[in-house]
Structures are given as C-alpha cells and as structure tokens.
Amino acid sequence: MRWDDLRIFLAVAREGSISGGASRLGVQHSTVSRRIKSLEAQLGTTLFERKKSGFELTEAGAELRDSAERIEREVVGLEGTLSNQDNSASGALTVTAINNMASTILLPVFARFSKEQPETRLHVQVSNKYVSLAERQADIAIRLTNTPPETLVGTRLTTVASAVYGSANYLASLAEGGKPKWLGIECCTFHRTWTNAACPDHDHSFYVDDTLLTLSALKQDLGLAYLPCFMGDGEESLRRYWPSDAAHDLGLWLLYHADLKQNRRVQLFRAHMIREIGKLRASFEGEQATIA
C-alpha cells in the first residue's frame, strides 16, 4: 500500500463521502472513487458500506482507519520535524484565508510579502471551511475567531469589527417610514446568529451564502445586513444603519502548527503580517465611519 492511497482513504472516512473526501484533498471526484476501488481490490475486502446517509466504514475499514491514522501521525510528525529545521526562505508556503479578506484587504498584503521574499513561493488558498493544519493541508491559516484551537500556535493580529449596513438609497427610504428588511444570511455562523437576533421573524425575501454576495446585494438596495467594517466602510454607496457593537468583535488570528514554530518561511510571513496588519488596524476595527 502507498501512503497516498491511505491519505485518500482517510479523507473519505472522515468526510463520509467520495465528494467530501475529494473536496478535502482538492482532487477530482473520479480520482478518489477510482483509488478507493483500487485499494479495496488490492486488499480483497470492502472498506465502506454505501448507504443513503453516506459512506460507513466496515469492520475491515475501521481497522484500516486506525492503522492509517497511526501512519499519518508518523508521517506528519516527520514532516514537521524536517520543516522545523528548514531555515531557508526558499521554498513553498501555503496560506489559507477566508474569501472576503483574501480577495480584498489582504491581497495587497500578500503581494508585498511575495515581492519582499521572492524566494518563497506563496500559495494562497481561499476557504471558509475547516482546514487541517495538522494534516498539512496548509502551513498557515488566517481565521476569524475568539476561541482559537489550543493545539495550534497563534498570533492575534487585530480585532475585526462589524456593523449593520444598507445602501444610501435604501436608508433614505427607511427615513421616510419604510419597514426595515433584512437579507437572509447563510455565509457563516457569526452573521447568521446576529441576523437571527436582529430579525427574529426571519422575514427574508433574498438570501446569500457569501459575504461578497452580501456586499453586492446591499449595493442593489435589497435591505440591511451585517458586514465587517473593513468591507462596509470602503464602499461609497453604503452607510452604517447601526454602529458597531463590541459584542460582535472577532479576533483575526494567524495560526500554524507547533511543528513549524522555527520554520523560516513561517516566521518571515508572521512578522510581515504583524507589521502590515498594524498599519490597517483602523480599517479592521471600524474607526473610519460615522452613522448615516
């Protein structure tokens, strides 16, 4: 058996489906399906039971999972040891960041790092979902949270404030006596929870599942919604309907596995982000706008 086959097997076992495993690894569905079938043929046993609820491990599959996880710990531990000894700026560095930041306020920051450290091949992955640093799906994660995992090394870069926004045209209609309408938000737990509290009757006629879509919908005069202040304050057509509330503040964290604590590229990137985000603190903390 090859480790790559076991890695694919573990991804399917953890996600409960071929498509989930493919998404987790960033490969084609057909590739994962073919490799699982090949592994089962090689071992002469069925590893998964295909049910309506998803893929469930057979007894043989459960035994293989336990063995594969032990191998994974050894492989990842060795990779971590070797990576921690890497004192060169030359090489790859994979960073995962959420879409609304990576494609807007953070892109110039990433670009400056790439220009300052041309020997480092910077790979930026956009993902709003969980990414396993322990499995080396990325070297560094930039995430919004107030409870970073204790298993990771973390640096809080700044505080990200949020406020309620609407277009200038839409807020003008409310000033004339209109009833506030809220966008239905399904992009993340934070914004969904805050929206449910502000609009408990869930009277939504338009739903979005991404913060960039929220921004576009607000610009089309479709109602009110929460946005991070670094996004809302930067749009000329938007105004704050409610001020930012400290209860909605989130920490912006740079996270990496302890095995990479001494890695040169990780430390160069960390120092760069601390320096650059410090210059953008007012934008992230929402200090640049007044209420409409």
State the architecture of 162-248 in CATH terms.
3-Layer(aba) Sandwich (3.40)
What is residue 25's predicted lDDT score, i.e. its pLDDT? Answer: 79
56: three-class secondary structure by DSSP: strand
Residue where the block lists tokens 């700026």: 89
* DSSP H stretches of helix in the chain: 3-15, 18-25, 29-43, 59-84, 99-102, 107-116, 168-175, 189-198, 211-219, 229-232, 264-279, 281-285
What is residue 189's predicted lDDT score, i.e. its pLDDT? Answer: 86
d(CA 239, CA 52): 47
Domains 91-160+249-285 and 162-248 share a fold: yes
Residues contacting 56, CB < 8 A, separation 6+: 16, 48, 49
Note if the pTM is more than 0.95: no
Q: What digits encode the pLDDT tens for the residues 93-110? A: 999 998 889 989 999 999
d(CA 234, CA 223): 18
Determine which helix (DSSP H) or strand (DSSP E) holds 123, and give its type and residue range.
strand 120-126
Token pair recorded at residue 97? 């960041």
In degrees, to the nearest 5, what angle opens at C-alpha 138 toward C-alphas 135 and 143? 110
Q: Where exactly are the structural domains of the chain?
A: 3-84, 91-160+249-285, 162-248
Which of 277, 278, 267, 279 lies closest to 117, judged by CA? Answer: 267
What's 91-160+249-285's CATH class? alpha beta
What is residue 63's predicted lDDT score, i.e. its pLDDT? Answer: 92
Q: What digits encode the pLDDT tens for the residues 154-171? A: 899 999 999 999 999 999
CATH 1.10.10.10 fits 3-84, yes or no: yes
Q: Which residue ranges of the chain lie beneath pLDDT 50?
A: 290-292
